[in-house]
Amino acid sequence: MRRRRWPGAALAPYLLVLPGWLWLAAFFVAPVLVMVSLSLQTGDFIEGFRQTFHFGTYADVVRAYHVQLLRSLLYGAVATVCCAVIAYPVAYWIAFRGGRHKSAYLFAVLLPFFVSFVIRTQSWNVVLADNGVLLGPLKRLGVLPGDFHVLATPYAVIGGLAYNFLPFMVLPVYVALERLDPRLTEAAADLYAGRVQGFLRVVLPLSLPGVFAGVLLTFVPASADYVNASILGGPSATMVGNVIQTEYFTNLDYPGAAALSFVLMAALLLAVFGYARALGTRDVLEAAAR
């Protein structure tokens, strides 16, 4: 006896995905359209803004803030590389050496996330102060010169970015390594592959999907961040996120801030597409499907 099919079964997949699409439309598509409209307006806060389709705003903000834009992409890229170099060995160790305490180690990685992002960054401002708990004793012992400082430098900003976004790299790499079938490494050893060769030819290629996801999750928010540059950086380390904040909340130049936001978004998309093309998304997807 054939079971009768529920009349709405064909619509079930669409109904399941509908909340997600509504959420995306309400909190991404609609704000983007509003910002597009705002970026093409002219006027001021007192007289009001009106739609004039002034595309010249984009050229103006690029001409005025291209240094901060390039600096943000550079800081984000360097911080992402630092996260990858630190996170991969950590994720590898947890996946293959963590044993029954894997959950505890992952919880330790995520533990800083239980503290506010701003407070975490501000704590480094205390630690790295010129006469703080770290540099103060070293200066008094003569290890460091008296005028040595870390705050208000690019190193402090990049270090803060790497610290704050490190878990975004650890977790996807760990998931990719955790999915790896241990019989593959055993087969590589049976075929007389050494540990280094087995890692380079088996483990690393199969973990590329996790590295790819980790780079995306780290590079995009790190490049657009403004908290680290505000707290740990100085005038020479200003990022484009700080410029957008100032244009919007201080100068009340809403069209300029919206246009600069879209320029940043376009630059990040180009960087991501370039990275995906260089890494080879086809190879990544094939590795993820194995």
Cβ atoms of 80 and 274 closer than 8 Å: no
pLDDT for res 4: 64
How confident is the prediction along the chain (290 residues), in pLDDT tens digits per residue?
566 666 667 788 888 899 999 999 999 999 999 999 999 999 988 888 999 999 999 999 999 999 999 999 999 999 999 999 999 999 999 999 888 899 999 999 999 888 999 999 999 988 888 888 888 888 888 888 888 889 999 999 999 999 999 999 999 999 999 988 888 888 888 888 888 888 898 899 889 889 999 999 999 999 999 999 999 988 888 999 999 999 999 999 999 999 999 999 999 999 888 888 776 656 555 555 55
Tell which residue, 270, 179, 178, has the closest CA to residue 219: 270
- The structure tokens listed for 79 are 């911080």
pLDDT for res 112: 87
What is the model's pTM?
0.86
- The structure tokens listed for 233 are 């950086």
Cβ atoms of 95 and 177 closer than 8 Å: yes
3-class DSSP state for residue 40?
coil
Integer Cα distance of 70 and 143 in angstroms: 35
pLDDT for res 284: 54
Burial-class residue 271 by CB neighbours within 10 Å (0-12, 13-18, 19+).
middle
State how far the alpha carbon of 83 is from the alpha carbons of 40, 161, 171, in Å: 38, 9, 11
